[in-house]
Amino acid sequence: MDAELLVRLRAGDEQAFVVLVRRHHAAMLRLASGYVPSLAVAEEVVQDTWLGVLRGLDGFEGRSSVTTWLFRILVNRARTAGTRERRSIAIGDPGRAVDQSRFDAAGAWASPPEHWVEDADDRLHAAKLAGRLRSAIDELPERQRNVVTLRDVEGLGSEEVCNVLAISESNQRVLLHRGRSRLRQVLETEFGRA
């Protein structure tokens, strides 16, 4: 747990730092990449964030979880480093959870979901599935990717995600819905192929 790592980190435990970095690095890089023009800059933002975390250790009061704190620092720095104009993009995403062609005219399933949930546990450890899911997350539109990464990969609560990304609860839900729906479709396709 991050809270325990925080205690160790404060005590000067280098290994705790490495564990924390290993745990969050990929998600941090994924998130930062959406704000800055290149991977190199994203990597700088991540490094800079960790330095900010270390420098802020003594002042961190634990009002939020360590993860939330970490990502708030990251997003702030990424915003500052970002040269891209961050317009507020309309959420009115026309995408649907499930392709329209899978329903009949009355809106009932014409091509119902393939059964795979029970297989998921057996195949969970297959590196291929994890790899497929990872690349599916990477391929999500940026805002969906940010929300899914924070909510479902990093395990933040909805309120924390809204706070980190400075978005409303309802925007967060729409983005989460689109992102998760897309990942479900990827998994269905993946299991269907097996």
Partner 1 sequence: MRLLLPLLPRRRDIVCQQAVELVTDYLEGVLSRADRRRFEAHLAGCPHCTEYLAQMRATIELTGRVTPEELTPRMQDEFIALYRQWRADHDGGRG
Q: How many Å apart are CA 7 and CA 1, to the nearest integer?
A: 11
Q: Pick from 5, 6, 27, 162: which binds partner 1 (CB under 8 A)?
A: 27
Cβ contacts of residue 90 below 8 Å, gap of 6+? Answer: none
Q: Pick from 115, 128, 168, 194: which binds partner 1 (CB under 8 A)?
A: 115
For residue 184, give the H/E element and its range.
helix 169-193
Reduced 3-state DSSP string for 73-94: HHHHHHHHHCCCCCCCCCCCCC
Taking the complex as a whole, the smallest distance from the CB of residue 85 to partner 1 amounts, in Å, to 29
Instruction: Using the minimum distance from each CB to partner 1, give the nearer residue, 12 or 85.
Output: 12
- Per-residue binding string, partner 1, 120-159, x by CB under 8 A, is x---x----xx--xx--x----------x---xx-x--x-
Instruction: Using the minimum distance from each CB to partner 1, give the nearer residue, 28 or 78.
Output: 28
DSSP 149: I
Taking the complex as a whole, the smallest distance from the CB of residue 125 to partner 1 amounts, in Å, to 9
Binding residues with partner 1: total (CB under 8 A): 51
Q: How many Å apart are CA 99 and CA 67, to the nearest integer?
A: 35
Coil/strand/helix, residue 175: helix
Taking the complex as a whole, the smallest distance from the CB of residue 87 to partner 1 amounts, in Å, to 25
Closest CA to 55 of 22, 9, 19, 20: 9
Check binding of 22 to partner 1 (CB under 8 A): yes
43-62 residues in contact with partner 1 (CB under 8 A) are 47, 50-51, 54-55
165-194 residues in contact with partner 1 (CB under 8 A) are 173, 176-177, 180-181, 183-184, 187-188
Per-residue buried b or exposed e for 75-85, using 16+ beta carbons within 10 Å of the residue's own CB: bebbeebbeee
Q: How many Å apart are CA 18 and CA 126, to the nearest integer?
A: 26
Site residues (vs partner 1, CB under 8 A): 12, 14, 17-18, 21-27, 47, 50-51, 54-55, 96-98, 100, 103, 106-109, 112-113, 115-117, 120, 124, 129-130, 133-134, 137, 148, 152-153, 155, 158, 173, 176-177, 180-181, 183-184, 187-188
